[in-house]
Structure 1
């Protein structure tokens, strides 16, 4: 921490154009930054540095000043794009590690933290940039091009690296590739600008279908999802994995309808239900939990998309679902109905209004389960309902203010009569 007493000493040590911010070695056992909780987990979590066999995947960036620092780790699922300045010299370019392709692919990535399973970084493509800025994509990327001196130029120097990481839904990295941009450095140049990017793609995923562009279309399912800690909205590619209600079955038996679900369609008010036969041997708490799971489904979502094309990364475009519980004061309460109210409004111009969801409320209504005499049975109705309410303000035509008449006659208008 700089203080008035040690400021001059720190300025002398770190105030030059570049300084070493790295330890001598990048062994995992050294004082290099270690990801929180990485030693205890067996999967990558959002923001945790991507580990390699010697430390972590480096993504050079400008930390203190515009000069490159190789101590910046790449965070899992954190797409980044950085640019920084690196000090170079043509005479020693062959010995500068950051100018060589090997510096970025020679360390294998750990598939999961603290594991022995390695994922090699393959070369996806190599593009050569001329001194005039034009780029040529090489036909083959199998041969590494290392920096070397040719006619007072340092050729094959790394100007840019783009990492592409493929992972599974369990937080395991399965593929890693790097695309390089190589260029030449003139003898009179003392520094170059390097660019670095990293992106993550989940394997075996299908695009989530939209329900309008941008506003909802009547009859298409309402899009819903969850918000894991520190990431964007997570959606299921299946309609029955989003906002659903109990689907009525022919025999009206709730136990048979437990797995039958119907998606909530925008603009369609829905009522569905079933009947449950209760005996004296049934216990209150297990029965209440069974009914609640049946009404909500396997996983009830947390957020609903405000527009039919809301992007998962734009969390502010998603509306949280408000939960309400209506019950009586008694010892045994069982849920008997789930009511979903979706409030929406018209958004945009009068000529082409777009449907936008502004509020979603899920209300669970419970009733008292009275103890039945031995051998007696009782049948109760369990219902689900969906209501769409248009809360748009009525459009009123507006007019501009009428022009005011300001008459001024010339001073000799009545001459020669006055």
Structure 2
């Protein structure tokens, strides 16, 4: 998905103010100002829920939005402005849960800003009077959203067949052998052989 808007630029506009206006149009208002001492933006503590019904009281249900290539103070190219005119919002998600009814879970969200480009103010036409503050031109600012599926291939899991333990009493073959307390070696072999045959048929 891609959307955009037009920003009116006049010849007297400051490059830093223009870049800040573009960032505000992309991210919304209330963004932190660039800190030249640390050469970075302070954290603005913006998060996205990983599920649609995430609890706002559970920190594990929310992930922080990352920003890549957010423009700083290096917006001057001589007497011209070198500005980033948009960003691509990349949303990484994965299908989790049951194989028959998977649920989409957001893994990460990142704003990836476009590469800076030089913006030239060109005054053309019969009404063009360089230096007049009322003259302006429009610059298009665009924002696109990309959903990236990072799911692992689904794997079906089957349960193991249950095993039935078979335990027979010590005198189970008593009618076919001598008295249980006085079994001979031959009768004991018959008893063991019969037991192995029965166990083999059960398994």
Tell me the equivalent position of 2:149: 390
Alignment TM-score, normalising by the size of structure 1: 0.29
* Equivalent in 63, 84, 89 of residue 335 of structure 1: 84
Q: Deviations over 1:211-256 (max 9, x none)?
A: xxxxxxxxxxxxxxxxxxxxxxxxxxxxxxxxxxxxxxxxxxxxxx
User: CA separation in 2, counterparts of 1:353 and 1:373?
Assistant: 54
User: CA separation in 1, counterparts of 2:7 and 2:52?
Assistant: 36
User: CA separation in 1, counterparts of 2:59 and 2:75?
Assistant: 40
* Cα drift, residue 399 of structure 1: 5.8
How do 1:126-275 and structure 2 match up within 5 A?
270-275=1-6
Tell me the equivalent position of 1:356: 105
User: CA separation in 2, counterparts of 1:385 and 1:341?
Assistant: 9
The answer to whether the Cα contact below 8 Å between 2:75 and 2:83 also exists between their aligned partners in 1 is no
| Structure having the higher Rg | 2
Cα 1:306–1:381 shift into 2, 3 Å: same
User: CA separation in 1, counterparts of 2:50 and 2:119?
Assistant: 42
Tell me the equivalent position of 2:9: 278
* Cα drift, residue 281 of structure 1: 2.2
RMSD: 3.3
The answer to whether the Cα contact below 8 Å between 1:327 and 1:366 also exists between their aligned partners in 2 is no
Tell me the equivalent position of 1:310: 54
Q: Deviations over 1:108-134 (max 9, x none)?
A: xxxxxxxxxxxxxxxxxxxxxxxxxxx
* Equivalent in 332, 346, 367 of residue 116 of structure 2: 367
* Cα drift, residue 278 of structure 1: 3.0
* Cα drift, residue 363 of structure 1: 1.7
Secondary structure of 1:342's match? strand
The answer to whether the Cα contact below 8 Å between 1:340 and 1:361 also exists between their aligned partners in 2 is yes
Runs of at least 5 residues in structure 1 that lack an aligned partner in the other structure: 1-269, 402-409, 411-418
Cα 1:285–1:350 shift into 2, 3 Å: same
User: CA separation in 1, counterparts of 2:115 and 2:23?
Assistant: 10
User: CA separation in 2, counterparts of 1:398 and 1:348?
Assistant: 13
* Cα drift, residue 330 of structure 1: 5.6
Kindly indicate which of the two structures has a greater share of residues assigned to helix. 2
* Cα drift, residue 396 of structure 1: 3.1
Q: Deviations over 1:367-418 (max 9, x none)?
A: 23445467396543210111111111111345679xxxxxxxx6xxxxxxxx
Number of equivalent positions: 136
User: CA separation in 1, counterparts of 2:55 and 2:118?
Assistant: 44
Runs of at least 5 residues in structure 2 that lack an aligned partner in the other structure: 32-44, 124-129, 161-192, 194-203
Cα 1:276–1:366 shift into 2, 3 Å: farther
Cα 1:398–1:373 shift into 2, 3 Å: closer
The answer to whether the Cα contact below 8 Å between 1:284 and 1:369 also exists between their aligned partners in 2 is no
The answer to whether the Cα contact below 8 Å between 2:82 and 2:119 also exists between their aligned partners in 1 is no
Q: Deviations over 1:168-188 (max 9, x none)?
A: xxxxxxxxxxxxxxxxxxxxx
Secondary structure of 1:310's match? coil
How do 1:119-130 and structure 2 match up within 5 A?
none
Cα 1:380–1:394 shift into 2, 3 Å: same
* Cα drift, residue 275 of structure 1: 2.8
Secondary structure of 2:19's match? helix
The answer to whether the Cα contact below 8 Å between 2:85 and 2:142 also exists between their aligned partners in 1 is yes
Tell me the equivalent position of 2:63: 319
